[in-house]
Amino acid sequence: MRRIGAFRNARGVKPLWKYPRRGYLGDIERKFSDFEKSRVVILPVPYETTTTYRKGAKNAPRAIITASRNMELYDEELDYEPYKIGIHTLRELKEGFNSPQKMIKALADKVQGLFSLGKLVIALGGEHTITLGMVEGLKREEKDFSILILDAHTDLRNSYEGTKYSHACVARRLIEENRIVQVGIRSLCRKEADFIKEKNLRLFYAKDIVGREEWMKEAISRLSDKIYLSIDLDFLDPSIMPAVGTPEPGGLGWYETLKFLCLLSQKKKILGIDVVELCPTPLDIPSSFAAAKLIYKLIAYLTTT
């Protein structure tokens, strides 16, 4: 573990969100985290207004970045140091947070500029609604891409608690104009189940894929060559990712997830990513660390293929 001492005070570890707002993923030396030279750009988006069960997603970007500073930057699987391709962390985006539509527009405006520079943007939520801003921004630069969503929940409700922009409606908004593939599903309501039947959607349910591998090729073959990837961390099993807003038992394991992401990176061009719904608490260290590590593994796969 690197430099853990820097994060302790006399009484032990401070709550994660008390750490400074400005942090860099991996605490990477300047030479490899300079904006101009970085191929990957991390954008913290601590947006949270419609979460319904456990609150705290707004603290997630800082918790992930703080955890990442204790992560080894050498990847043992690939015998490679992914940070050398350049990973820059931007300041938190906080514009338009008083309404979902304004946040979506502010985020789209911000990331459009980054995508136009050819950066791979990884947004750290915040709640799942930020995917809508990321996709809107990407659409202004790229016409032909499909969307892969890893999530325990279908998020296919037409509206929830009076808004069409709830985190529970994200996939429904996306499916109106995009080709989407959903993986890891194990929680939905009757109306969503009816919608899936009516539209004849092919979803990859956790019960059919956990502990198996045959599904991976089929899921990947349903995507176009270029993709946007949305990772709701609750797709993982709560045994490795307990600190999420809406945990569900029976999710994917660590190594099968890595295998899938590795395969995906070999077959498709990933244009943008979001990692959402982490809900850190002072005891959540393993969840924040797993989120940071997942992001870093993804960067490793994306940049070695």
**Which residues from 129-188 bind Mn ion, rule CB under 5 A?**
151-153
d(CA 215, CA 248): 21
**3 state SS of 137:** helix
Name the minimum Å distance from CB 155 to Mn ion: 7
CB of 89 to Mn ion, least distance (A): 25
Is 55 within 8 Å of 102 (Cβ atoms)? no
Per-residue mark of binding to Mn ion, 97-136 (x: CB under 5 A): ----------------------------------------
- Output 48 or 151, the one with its CB closest to Mn ion: 151
What is the closest distance, in whole angstroms, from the C-beta atom of residue 258 to Mn ion in the complex? 20
CB of 243 to Mn ion, least distance (A): 13
In this chain, which of 27, 48, 92, 234 binds Mn ion, going by CB under 5 A? 234
* Torsion sign, CA atoms 92, 93, 96, 102: negative
234 vs 274 by CB, closer to Mn ion: 234
Residue in the structure block whose two tokens are 């609750």: 234
- The Cα 177–Cα 236 span in angstroms is 27
Q: Which two tokens stand for residue 292?
A: 């940071």
3-state percent breakdown (helix, strand, coil) of the chain, nearest 5: 40, 20, 40
Q: Number of residues in contact with Mn ion, rule: CB under 5 A?
A: 5
Tokens of 210: 């956990």
Residue nearest to Mn ion (CB): 153
Radius of gyration of the chain from Cα atoms?
A: 18
Closest listed residue to residue 146, CA positions, set 41, 269, 37, 63: 269
- Determine, following the binding rule CB under 5 A, whether residue 192 of this chain makes contact with Mn ion: no
**Closest distance of CB 288 from Mn ion, Å:** 17
Q: Which of 232, 237, 274, 284 binds Mn ion (CB under 5 A)?
A: 232
What tokens does 200 get?
A: 């004849």
Closest contact distance (angstroms) between CB of 244 and Mn ion is 7
From 106-114, 192-200, 230-238, 284-292, span contacting Mn ion (CB under 5 A): 230-238
- Footprint of Mn ion (CB under 5 A): 151-153, 232, 234
